[in-house]
C-alpha cells in the first residue's frame, strides 16, 4: 500500500494490551509510510508516555477492552488534556449499545475488528484532515 | 426463463415488494428506512460491515416490530410501526457514525446514507421505489455475471517465501482477533430455535487482509493446505491453554495431518477429559481423500478419544456419491446452493434420496444467508442450520 498523502511524518500512538494487534497495526501503518510510532499496553502507560514525549502525537489508535483503564476511560482522560487530539477507537464490539456509548462519549471515529488496511487508512486520513 | 423462476425463488426484493403491497390501507404509524449501503466506498461494503449494520438495525428496530430486508445490492430496508421520527433519526445517526469517514455520510445530515419514509403520507413514493428495486434486482439476476469480479483489485499469487513469512507471524501471534464463532442451530419447522454447537474458525479472509492484503492466499491448493494446517495447530494451542467455558459444544476445523500431530496430543493433554465429548472435529472431503489410510487411522483415534466427527463442505451435487457411513462421521455439512431451488422433479428426488441414505448421520445446511434456504431445508427434512440468516432468525 502506498503512503496516503499527508500521513508521512505523522506520529501515531497505538494503545492495545494485545501485542499481536499492535504488531498488525504497526505493519499497516508502515505501509502507509507512518514510521513515527508510540506504543502502550494500556491507558495509564499511554498517558505517561504522552506526558514525557518529546514530539507531539498526531493521532491515537486505542483498543476498548483493556485491563485496568478501558478505552472509553482513556479517551475521557486524554480528551480532558488534549481535546483536539484525533482518537480512533478500535474494538471488537459491534452491538448497537457499544456504538451508542462510543458516540455519546464523543469518540471521533470507531472501527470494528477485524480491520482492513484500506479501512484503517481512510479512518486515519479522515481524522487527520478533520483536525488540520 | 429467469422471470418465471423468480416467482418461485423470490429474493429479498420480491419479499419486500410483497410486504409493502400487503400493507394496503393499514399504514398508520408505519415508517420505512432505506439505507443506501451500496453507495458506500468499497472497503465499507465488506460482509463484516453489512452484517454489523443489519444486526444493529435488527436490534434497534425490534421494539417497533421492525421488519428488515437485506437486499442483494447490500442496501437494507427496515419497516417499523410506532417508532417516532426522532428515534429513527437517532438510529440513522448511529449508522452514520460507523461510516463517519465515508464521503456518503459527510453531507446533507446523512440523507445520502438513508432515506426515511412516513408511509401514511409517502406510501406511493415508497411503493414506486420498492418496485424499482425489485425490477433492478431482476435485471441484475439475468445480466451476465462476473462484472464485479473484474473490478476486484488483482492480488498476487501466494508464493512459498511469503507463506513462510506469514507462518512466522501466525506461529508467534495471538490469533484471537481473527478467530470467529458461529452457532449451528437446531431449527425444526414450527419449533423454537436451539443452539447445538459453535464452530470455532479462523477467518482466512480477515487474516489475509491483516497479514498479506496484496496476496491471494487460496490460489495454490497445497500452500493453502499448509497454511490451514498451521492455523489448525495454532488454534488448538490457544484453545488448549484457554479452553472456553462453553454453553454448548464446540466444533473445530482440522486437517487429518493435524489430528496425528504432536500439537493435537498437546491439545489433548491440556484439555479437561470431559470436554472431549463436547468437541466435534470438522474435516474436509478433499483432505480425507488425499490420504485415506491416514484418515482411517485418525478417525479411529478420534472416536476412541471421545470426539465426534463432521464432514464439512459437501456440495449437493456430490451428496449422492458420498458414502458418509463408511467415513464414520456423525454429522455432514451440506453447502446451501441457490440451484437447489431450481431442481426439476428428478433432481429433487435424487437429492431427497441422498439425504435419506445419509440418515442417521445428521445433516447441517450451511451458509444459510437467506430465509429460502432454511425453508427449503425444513421441507426436505433438515433441522440443523448454520448461516447469517439462521443466526438472525434464531436470535430474534
Distance between A17 CA and the closest CA of chain B, angstroms: 11
**Torsions phi, psi of A120, nearest 5?**
-65, -45
The reply to whether residue B177 touches residue A95, judged by beta carbons under 8 angstroms, is no
pLDDT tens series, chain B, 396 aa = 222 222 223 478 888 988 998 887 788 899 999 998 988 888 888 777 887 888 888 888 888 888 888 888 888 999 999 888 888 988 898 999 999 888 888 766 667 889 899 999 888 888 888 888 887 777 666 554 443 444 445 677 888 888 888 888 777 776 776 777 888 999 988 888 889 998 988 877 777 777 777 778 877 777 888 888 888 888 888 887 766 655 578 999 998 988 988 888 888 888 877 788 889 999 998 888 888 888 999 999 999 999 999 999 898 888 888 888 889 999 999 999 988 988 888 888 888 888 888 888 999 999 988 888 999 999 888 999 998 878 877 776
Q: What is the pLDDT of residue B27?
A: 86
Give the bridge partners for B310, in sequence order: B282, B331
Q: Which residue in chain A is spatially nearest to B175 when comparing CA positions?
A: A20
The CB density around residue B385, as the number of other CB atoms within 10 Å, is 27
Of B43, B176, B203, the CB nearest to A118: B43
Distance between B113 CA and the closest CA of chain A, angstroms: 17
Going across the sheet that includes A87-91, the strands are A36-40, A11-15, A59-63, A87-91, A109-112
Q: Could you give the CA distance from residue B73 to residue B11 in angstroms, rounded to a whole number? A: 11
Question: What residues of chain A, 103 to 122, have a C-beta less than 8 Å from chain B?
Answer: 103, 108-110, 112-119, 122
Distance of CA A57 to the CA centre of its chain: 11
pTM of the model: 0.54
Alpha helices in chain B (DSSP H): 2-8, 12-23, 47-61, 85-98, 119-142, 147-151, 160-172, 204-211, 221-241, 256-259, 262-270, 285-290, 292-304, 324-327, 345-358, 371-379, 388-395
Please tell me if residue A94 touches chain B, with a CB cutoff of 8 Å: yes
Q: Which residue in chain A is spatially nearest to B100 when comparing CA positions?
A: A109
Of residues A2 and B214, which shows the higher confidence score? B214
Q: Tell me if residue B289 falls in helix, strand or coil.
A: helix
Cis peptide before B314 (omega within 30 of 0): no
Distance between B342 CA and the closest CA of chain A, angstroms: 36
Q: Which residue in chain B is spatially nearest to A29 when comparing CA positions?
A: B210
pLDDT at residue A3 greater than cutoff 50:
no
The reply to whether residue A110 touches residue B98, judged by beta carbons under 8 angstroms, is yes
Of residues B149 and A56, which shows the higher confidence score? A56
Please count the helices (runs of H) and the strands (runs of E) in chain B. Answer: 17, 14
The Cα-based distances of B268 to A17, B265, B306 in angstroms read 29, 5, 11
Of residues A13 and B205, which shows the higher confidence score? A13
Q: What is the pLDDT of residue B1?
A: 28
Q: What is the pLDDT of residue B7?
A: 29
- Grid cell in block for residue B85: 421520527
ipTM beyond cut 0.85: yes
- Grid cell in block for residue A101: 456509548
Q: Tell me if residue A59 falls in helix, strand or coil.
A: strand
Give the bridge partners for B5, in sequence order: none
8 Å CB contact between B66 and B57: yes
Q: Could you give the CA distance from residue B10 to residue B137 in angstroms, rounded to a whole number? A: 10
Q: Which residue in chain B is spatially nearest to A89 when comparing CA positions?
A: B98
The reply to whether residue B177 touches residue A103, judged by beta carbons under 8 angstroms, is no
Chains A and B form CB pairs within 8 A to the count of 81
Please tell me if residue B62 touches chain A, with a CB cutoff of 8 Å: no
Please tell me if residue A38 touches chain B, with a CB cutoff of 8 Å: no
Give the bridge partners for B309, in sequence order: B281
Q: Which are the contacts of B381, defined by CB distance < 8 A and separation ≥ 6?
A: B352, B355
Which residue in B99, B101, B166 has the most chain A C-beta atoms within 10 A of its own C-beta, making it the best mutation to test that interface?
B101
What does the radius of gyration of chain A's CA atoms come to, in whole angstroms?
Answer: 13
Q: What is the pLDDT of residue B234?
A: 84
Q: Tell me if residue B104 falls in helix, strand or coil.
A: helix
Lowest-pLDDT range of A26-40, A107-121, B200-214, B271-285: B200-214
Which residue in A114, A119, A126 has the most chain B C-beta atoms within 10 A of its own C-beta, making it the best mutation to test that interface?
A114
Please count the helices (runs of H) and the strands (runs of E) in chain A. Answer: 5, 5
Placement of cell 490469533 in the chain: B175
The reply to whether residue A114 touches residue B98, judged by beta carbons under 8 angstroms, is no
The CB density around residue B314, as the number of other CB atoms within 10 Å, is 22
The reply to whether residue A127 touches residue B101, judged by beta carbons under 8 angstroms, is yes
Of A99, A108, A127, the CB nearest to B98: A99
Alpha helices in B189-334 (DSSP H): 204-211, 221-241, 256-259, 262-270, 285-290, 292-304, 324-327
Q: What is the mean pLDDT of chain A?
A: 88
- Bridge-based pairing of strands B30-35 and B76-81 is antiparallel
Contacts of B177 in chain A (CB under 8 A): 18, 20-21, 24, 92, 113-114
The CB density around residue B378, as the number of other CB atoms within 10 Å, is 17
SS (H, E, C) B346-379: HHHHHHHHHHHHHCCCEEEEECCCCHHHHHHHHH
Q: What is the pLDDT of residue A61?
A: 97
Distance between B22 CA and the closest CA of chain A, angstroms: 30
The Cα-based distances of B113 to B23, B39, B40, B100 in angstroms read 25, 8, 8, 11
Of residues A11 and A6, which shows the higher confidence score? A11
- Grid cell in block for residue B62: 425490534
**Torsions phi, psi of A108, nearest 5?**
-70, -30
Amino acid at each position: 500500500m502506498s503512503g496516503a498523502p499527508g500521513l508521512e511524518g505523522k506520529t501515531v500512538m497505538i494503545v492495545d494490551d494485545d501485542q499481536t494487534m499492535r504488531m498488525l497495526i504497526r505493519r499497516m501503518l508502515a505501509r502507509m509510510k507512518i514510521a513515527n510510532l508510540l506504543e502502550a499496553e494500556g491507558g495509564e502507560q499511554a498517558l505517561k508516555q504522552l506526558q514525557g514525549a518529546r514530539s507531539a502525537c498526531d493521532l491515537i489508535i486505542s483498543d476498548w477492552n483493556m485491563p485496568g483503564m478501558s478505552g472509553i476511560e482513556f479517551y475521557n482522560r486524554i480528551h480532558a488534556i488534549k481535546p483536539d487530539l484525533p482518537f480512533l477507537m478500535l474494538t471488537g464490539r459491534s452491538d448497537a449499545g457499544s456504538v451508542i456509548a462510543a458516540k455519546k462519549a464523543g469518540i471521533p471515529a470507531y472501527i470494528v475488528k477485524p480491520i482492513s488496511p484500506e479501512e484503517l487508512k481512510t479512518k486515519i486520513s479522515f481524522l487527520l484532515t478533520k483536525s488540520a | 426463463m429467469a422471470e418465471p423462476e423468480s416467482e418461485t425463488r423470490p429474493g429479498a426484493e420480491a419479499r419486500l415488494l410483497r410486504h409493502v403491497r400487503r400493507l394496503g390501507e393499514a399504514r398508520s404509524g408505519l415508517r420505512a428506512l432505506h439505507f443506501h449501503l451500496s453507495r458506500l466506498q468499497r472497503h465499507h461494503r465488506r460482509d463484516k460491515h453489512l452484517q454489523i449494520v443489519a444486526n444493529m438495525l435488527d436490534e434497534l428496530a425490534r421494539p417497533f416490530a421492525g421488519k428488515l430486508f437485506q437486499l442483494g445490492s447490500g442496501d437494507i430496508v427496515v419497516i417499523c410501526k410506532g417508532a417516532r421520527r426522532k428515534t429513527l433519526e437517532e438510529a440513522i445517526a448511529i449508522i452514520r457514525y460507523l461510516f463517519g469517514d465515508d464521503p456518503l455520510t459527510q453531507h446533507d445530515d446523512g440523507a445520502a446514507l438513508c432515506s426515511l419514509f412516513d408511509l401514511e403520507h409517502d406510501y406511493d413514493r415508497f411503493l414506486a421505489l420498492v418496485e424499482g428495486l425489485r425490477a433492478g434486482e431482476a435485471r441484475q439476476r439475468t445480466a451476465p455475471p462476473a462484472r464485479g469480479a473484474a473490478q476486484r483489485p488483482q492480488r498476487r499469487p501466494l508464493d512459498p517465501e511469503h507463506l513462510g513469512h506469514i507462518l512466522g507471524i501466525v506461529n508467534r501471534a495471538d490469533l484471537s482477533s481473527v478467530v470467529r464463532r458461529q452457532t449451528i442451530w437446531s431449527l425444526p419447522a414450527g419449533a423454537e430455535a436451539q443452539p447445538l454447537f459453535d464452530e470455532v474458525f479462523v477467518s482466512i479472509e480477515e487474516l489475509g487482509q491483516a497479514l498479506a492484503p496484496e496476496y491471494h492466499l487460496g490460489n495454490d491448493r497445497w500452500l493453502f493446505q499448509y497454511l490451514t494446517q498451521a492455523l489448525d495447530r495454532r488454534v488448538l494451542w490457544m484453545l488448549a491453554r484457554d479452553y472456553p467455558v462453553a454453553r454448548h459444544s464446540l466444533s473445530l476445523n482440522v486437517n487429518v495431518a493435524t489430528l496425528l500431530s504432536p500439537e493435537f496430543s498437546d491439545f489433548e493433554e491440556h484439555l479437561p477429559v470431559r470436554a472431549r465429548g463436547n468437541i466435534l472435529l470438522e474435516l474436509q472431503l478433499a483432505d480425507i481423500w488425499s490420504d485415506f489410510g491416514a484418515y482411517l487411522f485418525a478417525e479411529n483415534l478420534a472416536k476412541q478419544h471421545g470426539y465426534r466427527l463432521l464432514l464439512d463442505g459437501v456440495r449437493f451435487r456430490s451428496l449422492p456419491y458420498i458414502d458418509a457411513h463408511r467415513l464414520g462421521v456423525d454429522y455432514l455439512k451440506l453447502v446451501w446452493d441457490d440451484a437447489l431451488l431450481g431442481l426439476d422433479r428428478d433432481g429433487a428426488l435424487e437429492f431427497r434420496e441422498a439425504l435419506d441414505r445419509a440418515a442417521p448421520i445428521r445433516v447441517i445446511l450451511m451458509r444459510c444467508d437467506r430465509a429460502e434456504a432454511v425453508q427449503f431445508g425444513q421441507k426436505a427434512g433438515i433441522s440443523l442450520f448454520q448461516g447469517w440468516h439462521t443466526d438472525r432468525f434464531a436470535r430474534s
